[in-house]
Amino acid sequence: MSTTPRVGSAVPGEPAIFRTVLAHQPAVFEAFCRAWSAACESSPQFSKQARFLAVGRTDPEIAEATRRHPKVDATFLGYQPHRVALQYLTGGDLLLLLIKNIKTSTDSVVTIPGKLFEYVGSQRPVLMIGPAGDAARIIEESGRGSVCTEEDISGIAAALLGAFAARGRAAPEPESNLYERRVLAGALARCLAEASGAAGSSGLHARGAEP
């Protein structure tokens, strides 16, 4: 296993753990690296065959984390045209989403990266490492993956091993895609109709109350 992250090209569609850099989240990625190392200790086959591909511009701290965890067989591909990035995305065995736990006065974090909907639409399994919140709810409701906090190293490792064992298989089809464009458009239309009806009813009541 190389101790130096590779920089260069790889074949789109090649089975691998996939990640698109969404934000500057070295602390969350550190947890991912620890879990990857734990998965390697648990499964010699995972250690020999699993690869991590980073598509997109990567913060130096992310690459440095893989140097501290040499069991992570990482390749940093740098910026790719959107068409090529989508090939990597749809060919990945697991798509990784990192969200920082921003402390607020509420129990959940309102952070929804735009990339999340692209992940859900890819029909590939998603692993989110981050806090409870809207993004976690979307992943759970869509049936497309799992959510772990950055403290749950064993849970992250289990998700990695599960994706490795299922590599090459089609992701199970959820009962319904709640976030498909047609479904969302229908929900919006119903909300507008209900709001319009409520406003009309309120107006009628107001006029009826006039002397």
User: Helix, strand, or coil here: 95?
Assistant: strand
What pLDDT is attached to residue 201? 57
Task: Determine the pLDDT at residue 175.
Answer: 46
Helices 26-42/60-68 angle, 10° precision:
30
> How far does CA 62 lie from the centroid of its chain?
17
Residue 90: the pLDDT is 82
Laid out side by side, the sheet with 52-55 consists of 6-7, 74-78, 52-55, 17-20, 94-98, 126-129, 145-148
Instruction: Please name the residue that has the structure tokens 């029909």.
Output: 123
Task: Look at residues 115, 113, 112, 57 and name the one whose alpha carbon lies nearest to residue 86.
Answer: 115
Supply the pLDDT for residue 2: 47
**Residue 129: what pLDDT?**
92
CA 94 to chain centroid? 9
Question: Quick one: pLDDT at residue 6?
Answer: 52
Residues 148-162 have pLDDT tens digits of 999 999 999 999 999
The whole-number pLDDT of residue 188 equals 63
pLDDT under 50 in the chain at which residues? 1-3, 7-9, 13, 18-23, 175-176
Question: Which one, of 85, 147, 155, lies nearest residue 122 by Cα?
Answer: 85
What pLDDT does 138 receive?
A: 86
pTM given for the model: 0.71
